[in-house]
Structures are given as C-alpha cells and as structure tokens.
Structure 1
C-alpha cells in the first residue's frame, strides 16, 4: 500500500512519528496524523485551516487531553517528592533515558514509535478513499478523509470540541481532491 503514497502522504506518516516523539507519546494516534497534516503546505492543509484547524490549536488540545506534566510535577512537589531526584535514581539504576519511553520489543528499535490500531485503520481507509475517488495514488487529502471515515479517536474529538462540521469538511476535502 505504501508504494501508492505520494510524497505528501509519506511526509504525513513520517510527520506523525515526529509529532508523537515531540509530545513524548508512546503510540502514534489519529491526533498525530492530524498534526502532521497541518505541518504541510498543501491544498489539504488549506481546507483544514478554513475549518479552523491549525497546528498550534490542535497541538494545544492534544496536550490538554494527555495531561499537563508541569501540573503533575507541581502536585508531586507539593507532596515533597523531588522528581529530579527520582529521575537521577532511576537512571542510575536502569540507565540514561529509562523514563523516556516503554521498553522496546526485540523487533523494534528504541526510536520506533508504533501506530495505534486506530491510526493503522485510518491509513487503510485512506486507500479506500483514493479508490472511491478513482485515483491511483494516496495523498495527504486521502489520509484526512480516512480520519473522517474512521470517525473516532482524539483527532475527531478535537474537531468535535472545536465545532468543526465534519460533513462539510468531508465535502471540501473531496472537492480539493478533484472529484
């Protein structure tokens, strides 16, 4: 399937991993795909921004959903727990960066972040979107349409919370695909 991805679609997949790493998440979810779509300069990004979706706004919403580490740190400090001391002790015992991610599986490098099942489904649905539009390649617009078709996940929650009319967004994205 990935051989059918255009450069923009490939940048979206790579960008989703970059976004997950930036946010220190252990899985690539629908929210990371949406964030990656919003980093590009394509017709898809233009459509998304017309519907009020910007990288900064979505990033802030995603961070809010996953919690604020600074607030957690403040709460622990108020209980007398020194997080720097805890980190130093853990790293002395288990090695540098031991708290920076879960254990890597034997078949996965420590820098690899796996896709959630929902994000994988979005990528499969992007192929269906391309086929439905009678297009031979999968571009970033098809990934955006796959997000909408999948209909769940944090990306959809962010859109719903921001009052995005997803039916109208779907029509605009489809029009931008040339159909």
Structure 2
C-alpha cells in the first residue's frame, strides 16, 4: 500500500519526522504531520490552507509554545504514534472513497481531520477546516482543475530545491544525533520499510 503514496505525501512524512526531532518529540504525532503538510508550497492542499489563512509559521509557533521546555530529541529512531498510524490508514480510505489510485497530501489532510481528538484536528477545526467541509473543498477544487499532489507536473516542480533542503536537514539531524548522514538515511529508509509493513 505504501507504493500508492505520491512523492509529495512521502515528503510530508519525511518533514513530519524532521519536525518531531526539532520539537523534541519522542513519536511522530498528528501535529508533526500537519507541519509537514503545511510545508507543501503548491497544489490542492496548499490552496485549502491559503483559503483558511493557515500558515506553517503560525502553526509551528502554536505547537512550539504548547511544548515549551521539552528537550530536543537526538534520537534517529522516531516511531509513528498510534494516532498517526490511524491517520495513515484513514488517508488510504479517503483515497479509496474518492476513487484515487494514489495517496496524496489531500488524503493525509482528510486523515488528520478524521482523527478528531488529535492536536492537529483541533488546530484545523479552529481555522474552519472540518472533515465534511474539507472533503467538499477537495472535490470542488479538483473540478476547478486545481492540480492534486500526485500530479506529475506539480510534484516535480522545484524538486532540486526540495532535495537540497532535505539534504541540509539530514545533515543537521545527523550532527545533532552524532551519527553519519549515511547512517541516518539508512535509519529513515528502515522506518519507511516499517511503515510499509504496517500498511500492508
């Protein structure tokens, strides 16, 4: 099932892991997934966030303030929380409901909203993004011709810049955890294998 994730959705999960480390978390929570989603600069999900006036900077400040005083994690082994695992299952279900072959950031967003009691869903709801309203927005935007995250053209735009960002973040995480970047990349790939097994 993990093969269904488009490049933008995979990047979201990578950035969620990075945000967890930066914020001192011990597991990848729904709010970290939300921050990963908010890093997406183009496409349907970005349009939804823009219309809701929801920005990465504002959400990051809110989460950081809520978690003030936590020690920054240096671990390279960061698991998905139980809530986040459910979000990933919900994302697959949302893709199926929409008859979409790929799982994209749109489906991850809907998955987060289905985990109603999560911190991320609370933030989204405060900005007027309910599950039903967001489902309607996804459908309407697709009908308007807004490109989904799995669209090849939108997914490859600025890919070189994004790769440079990811490389820099891997180097920063490796320094913090006192490991070689190569070892950290292997650990990340191992985590993706674990996620793949979970989703089967």
TM-score by length of 2: 0.64
Partner of 2:134: 169
CA distance in 2: counterparts of 1:130 and 1:178, whole angstroms: 16
Q: Deviations over 1:108-135 (max 9, x none)?
A: xx40211110001001110000000011
Partner of 1:50: 51
Q: Deviations over 1:42-87 (max 9, x none)?
A: 3212212211211011111111222x22xx9xxxxxxxxxxxxxxx
Stretches of 4+ aligned residues off by more than 6 angstroms: none
Give the superposition deviation at 1:136. Answer: 0.9
Q: 1:23 to 1:101 in 2, by over 3 A?
A: closer
Q: Which has the larger radius of gyration?
A: 1
Q: Structure 1, unaligned stretches of length 5 or more?
A: 73-98, 103-109
Give the superposition deviation at 1:175. Answer: 2.9
Give the superposition deviation at 1:25. Answer: 1.0
- RMSD after superposition: 2.2
Q: Which structure features the higher share of helix residues?
A: 2
CA distance in 2: counterparts of 1:149 and 1:174, whole angstroms: 17
Partner of 2:78: 113
With a CA cutoff of 8 Å and minimum separation of 6, indicate the structure with the bigger relative contact order. 1
For these two proteins, the number of residue pairs brought into alignment is 142
Contact 2:30 2:112 in 1 (8 A): yes
TM-score by length of 1: 0.71
